[in-house]
Each structure stands twice: as C-alpha cells, then as structure tokens.
Amino acid sequence: MPAAKPALQEEASAPDLVAAQANVNVIGPSGPHLVTRPPAARPELHSVSPPQPRKAATFQPRTPVITGEVTYRGTIAVDGTICGLLGAAASTLTIKQRLRNGSSEPELNGEISFKDLLRINGHVAGKVFSQKGTLIVDPSAKVEAEIDVAVCVVNGTVIGDIIGHQKVEVSPGAIVRGNIATRTLSIKPGAVFQGDCRMLKDENGES
C-alpha cells in the first residue's frame, strides 16, 4: 500500500519563488526545454532621493565700515544694495552687504575727512584727515592709509604713516607698520610697531 501523502506542504521560500519565476519549462515542437528570463525589478531597490531645495542668496546685516560724520571722496565697493537719500545737505546712506570672506580689497578707497570722532570697523585705504578729531581703529579693522589727525587710537592694523598732533596710542594686540609723528606716544605691552618715531613740538615750540 503506498504511503499517504502529507496533507500540509511547506510553502516555497521567497528565493525559490524568484527562481521559479525566472526559469520556465516551455514545451516546443522539439520537446521541453528550459527558458531563463530576468527577474522582475523590485520597486524598493530603486529609491529616488527627494530634490534638495536651493538656498536663496540672502543679505545679512553687518557692522558698517565707518561710524561717524565724515566727508568722503573716493570709491565704495558694494556687493549688495544701496538705499537712502543722497544730497548736499543732511543725507542718509544705508548699505547692506554680503559678508566678505577674506577679501583683500578695501571697502573704502579714497579721502576721508571728519571733525569730531571717527571709528573705522572695516578695511579702508587712502587718506584719513582731521584737524581736531579723534580716530579709533577697531580690533577687526585694517587701515592702509596716511593718517593725519589730532588723536589716533589704534586697536587693529594700520599700514601707513600716522601723524597725531596731540596723541597716538597703540593698544595691546594692535599692529602698526609705518612711521609715527606725535607729541605724546603710548605703546602698550603686546603691541607691534615697525617704523620710526618722531616727537612733534608743542604750541610753545618745545618737544
């Protein structure tokens, strides 16, 4: 008596199903033969990454090149927009610029004259003049110019000659490469000074 067939059979695994679908027995005129066809492409194997959004060019507010009331004649390098009202009398000029990454070009290149107080925060070249004013060079500033003022306080970098009719002060960490002419000179520890110094005579003719 033949053995009874099992009622339940183990289902074919996934690799077996793929192999079964790939290999098909075809009966032709010359007899049965095996035809191999490529497995169907699985959609999960072709994943497409979503497109990345493009970053729009944005302008960021930054510290102005100079702070103070000045008269300027020269060129202004602007990578951005200029808005405001320009006139011979009272006027307002607002500049929005992109951040400059290590650029060696000066942001202002020309002649700057002022009366009371001028603070330089960026890269300036040319000439800075004031009969009675005080010039302050910030730690992040770079001045490649001839300076002729009453009082000059250097906290950053100055490349050029400095004339301070009353006083010149070089703070710790400051760099001055040029000659200094003044009545009172103060160079703090930690400052770098490369040049010659000449003491000016006061109003009484004494040095």
Domain boundaries, given as residue ranges, for the chain? 66-96+108-196
Q: What mean pLDDT do residues 55-66 have?
A: 63
- Under the banding of pLDDT at 50, 70 and 90, the label for residue 148 is very high
- Tracing tokens 């103070």 back to the chain, one arrives at 68
pTM (two decimals): 0.61
Reduced to 3 states (helix: H, G, I; strand: E, B; else coil), residue 71 is: strand
Q: Residue 69: is its pLDDT beyond 50? A: yes
What dihedral do alpha carbons 130, 134, 136, 137 form, nearest 10°? 30
Of these ranges, 5-19, 84-98, 125-139, the one predicted with the greatest mean pLDDT is 125-139
Residues paired with 116 in a beta bridge? none
Say what percent of the chain tops pLDDT 70. Answer: 54
Q: Residue 207: is its pLDDT beyond 50? A: yes
Q: Residue 45: is its pLDDT beyond 80? A: no
pLDDT at position 106, please?
84
Q: Residue 34: is its pLDDT beyond 80? A: no
- Tracing tokens 């699985």 back to the chain, one arrives at 42
Q: Residue 137: is its pLDDT beyond 90? A: yes
Each residue's pLDDT tens digit, 163-189: 999 999 999 999 999 999 999 999 999
What value does the mean pLDDT of the chain take?
Answer: 75
SS3 sequence, 155-190? Answer: CCEEECCEEEEEEEEECCCCEEECCEEECCEEECCC
pLDDT at position 206, please?
65
Q: Residue 125: is its pLDDT beyond 90? A: yes
pLDDT at position 88, please?
47
Answer yes or no: are the C-beta atoms of 108 and 72 closer than 8 Å: yes
The encoded tokens of residue 105 equal 């070009």
pLDDT at position 162, please?
97
> pLDDT: is 12 or 205 the higher one?
205
Neighbours of 190 (CB within 10 A): 10
Q: What mean pLDDT do residues 124-148 have?
A: 94
Answer yes or no: are the C-beta atoms of 166 and 148 closer than 8 Å: no
Each residue's pLDDT tens digit, 75-123: 777 666 555 545 444 455 555 555 555 557 888 888 999 988 999 988 9
Residues paired with 57 in a beta bridge? none
As a whole number of angstroms, the distance between CA 157 and CA 150 comes to 19
